[in-house]
A and B are shown apart, each in its own frame.
Chain A
Amino acid sequence: MEISIGGMIGLYGGMLCGLLGWWFGRKKARENRGLDELYYHIWQRARSYAWYATLGAIYIFFSLIMFGVELSAAMVLALILLIHLGSWAIIGMILTINMTVSPSKQLSRVAIAWIVVACSFTLFTVLSIVTGNWLFLLWSILPNVVALTTVALATRIKPVQKNIE
């Protein structure tokens, strides 16, 4: 049995950094009365959306396996962990910004989200072609899921605003 030192540093180091960031973030927020009901509302919603992203990723991986693609357990677990935690954090940040910016700026974020989709897909396609390893394409899942969620959130907000007007 081989022990991967790099993997262990990445896994536990990442967890430690994440926990420290989370702890300091909460400490700073508490000083500004930031741990209020809006905070819990945003981060509960972000966690909910992150599970949708994870569910989507699981279905994508199962589909790939059914198409005969060989995926290692470590790779799939790493990607699912990345997609879950990454989408949780990014969606939380997007929702936090959404609460305090004007609706006109939300529209421009839709454009940015589409640019992210196009860029990440192009980048990982080029990487796959250059290296000859198409599995690089899997890394475009996270930015694409987050960007498409941003588009979905922004377009869901628009009709409500029209009703108010």
Chain B
Amino acid sequence: MKNRIRELRKVKQITQEELSKQVGVSRQSIIAIESGKFNPSIELAYNISKVFNCTIEEVFIFEEEGM
């Protein structure tokens, strides 16, 4: 699953540390999510999207395998 967190962070000018504080997870989690190594739960995805005033679909791009 791809995401636009890095891009949206740059637009909003917030660091990984600030984002992690706002959603209540560690900075390592934000790094892992941003790089696509870890898919967050629906609750965390919702909280991240809320920080950027976006919907989940606008932040996280779901790609089916083989597409």
Contact = CB atoms under 8 A, between A and B. Distances in A.
Interface of A: 29, 32-34, 36-39, 41, 96, 98-100, 163-164
Given A32-B26, A33-B26, A99-B37, A38 B20 contact: no
Contacts of B25: 33, 36-38
Q: Is the interface of A mostly helix, strand, loop or mixed?
A: helix
A33 B37 contact: no
A96 B29 CA distance: 10
A36 B24 contact: yes
Contacts of A37: 25, 29, 40-41, 44
B36 A164 contact: yes
A100 B31 contact: yes
Contacts of A164: 2, 36
A163 B1 CA distance: 11
A33 B21 contact: yes
A33 B44 contact: no
B28 interface: yes
A162 B19 CA distance: 29
9 contacts: A32-B26, A34-B28, A36-B29, A37-B25, A37-B40, A38-B28, A41-B38, A100-B32, A163-B65
Interface string B7-41: 00000000000001100111111011000111011
